[in-house]
């Protein structure tokens, strides 16, 4: 879903997962992602920015950013664990009964802006949220849920990559029920859509929110499976495309497409709204924005060009997991 742990809190349950175990897995996941991205880049390394909120009792996080690498122009992998006394408006619009409750949110957000236009932008998020009169470890909160997912935003579409991406998502969710991948794929297609442009942000993936229907143990296992699926699916795509020759025209199109990515995050993303409304750390919330971007007035791709094919063939919902790969662009 979003670039930050957030959004509208979900269903009721007396048996919440332990925050300590969720936190431990999230921190380990962050470390594994950073190690994989450093290996894929080859020379750049992540800087670590450990931070606390103005009131340390309300939490903090660890924002890690890799910049100006030969493969990744910018990569951010941020962990946060924050608390508050009252849920902000963005989190209670759909659940007014939870207005005024204390809350606790923790998660890892990943956003990758590659240097080569043929390597797609990628975003992933895994998070846990709970709200209630007491957010202590042994509490029975009024609401708890997991959320997250991952999506892919190519500038130049490759069917091989899109198929592998969606099959990784489908296979990760299969042990938890055959209905989940189609449901989460549809939710991803609908969420990552620029309503003011009338176009999808990318080729989607999976997205889930307010999820606790499998109980604490299985719902947490599903979250872990989604995170691990991203870690197994994205690096191979990077490896296939990072040495693809590209032109200045393709670089310009990449910066143009990054504009769409920025528009979604600033206009529609619920996590961005939650983070800012809850007094979150602006630098970490806006970590997802690309380092360079451009907007060209009323620009349209040349008919029949690779840029046009992205819009006609890729930026529309398709049954990618069910397709046979042609390994052709």
Write the pLDDT tens digit of every residue in 18-41: 899 999 999 999 999 999 999 999
Instruction: Write down the CATH number for the domain with range 19-314.
Output: 3.40.1500.10
User: Is 126 annotated for ligand binding?
Assistant: yes
- Ligand-binding annotation for 127, yes or no, is yes
pLDDT tens digits, one per residue of 197-255? 999 999 999 999 999 999 999 999 999 999 999 999 999 999 999 999 999 999 999 99
Q: Taking residues 164-170, what's their average pLDDT?
A: 98
311 is catalytic: no
- Determine if residue 166 is labeled as part of a ligand binding site: yes
| pLDDT value at 102 more than 80 | yes
Query: Rounded mean pLDDT of 50-75?
Result: 93
Which one of the listed residues 123, 246, 300, 311 is annotated catalytic?
123
Residue 125 annotated as lining a ligand binding site: yes
pLDDT value at 267 more than 60? yes
**Residue 196 annotated as lining a ligand binding site:** yes
What is the value of pTM for the model shown?
0.89
- The structure tokens 């909160």 sit at 141
């Amino acid at each position: 879903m979003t670039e930050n742990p957030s959004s509208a809190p979900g269903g009721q349950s007396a048996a919440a997962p332990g925050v300590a175990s969720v936190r431990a897995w999230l921190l380990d996941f962050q470390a594994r992602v950073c190690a994989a991205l450093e290996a894929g880049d080859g020379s750049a390394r992540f800087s670590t920015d450990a931070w606390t909120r103005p009131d340390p009792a309300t939490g903090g996080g660890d924002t890690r950013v890799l910049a100006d690498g030969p493969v990744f122009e910018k990569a951010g992998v941020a962990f946060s664990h924050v608390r508050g006394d009252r849920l902000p408006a963005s989190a209670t619009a759909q659940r007014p009964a939870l207005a005024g409750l204390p809350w606790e949110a923790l998660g890892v957000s990943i956003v990758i802006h590659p240097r080569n236009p043929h390597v797609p932008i990628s975003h992933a998020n895994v998070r846990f949220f709970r709200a209630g009169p007491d957010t202590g470890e042994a509490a029975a909160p009024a609401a708890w849920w997991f959320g997250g997912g991952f999506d892919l935003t190519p500038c130049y579409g490759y069917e091989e990559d899109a198929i592998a991406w969606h099959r990784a998502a489908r296979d990760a969710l299969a042990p938890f029920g055959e209905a989940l991948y189609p449901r989460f794929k549809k939710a991803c297609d609908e969420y990552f859509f620029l309503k003011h442009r009338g176009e999808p942000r990318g080729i989607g993936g999976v997205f889930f929110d307010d999820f606790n229907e499998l109980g604490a143990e299985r719902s947490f296992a599903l979250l872990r499976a989604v995170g691990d699926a991203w870690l197994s699916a994205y690096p191979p795509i990077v490896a296939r495309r990072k040495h693809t020759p590209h032109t200045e025209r393709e670089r310009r199109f990449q910066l143009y497409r990054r504009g769409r990515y920025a528009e979604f995050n600033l206009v529609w993303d619920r996590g961005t709204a939650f983070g800012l409304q809850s007094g979150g750390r602006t630098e970490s919330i806006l970590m997802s924005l690309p380092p360079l971007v451009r907007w060209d007035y009323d620009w349209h791709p040349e008919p029949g060009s690779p840029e046009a094919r992205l819009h006609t063939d890729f930026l529309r919902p398709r049954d990618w997991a069910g397709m046979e790969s042609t390994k052709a662009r």
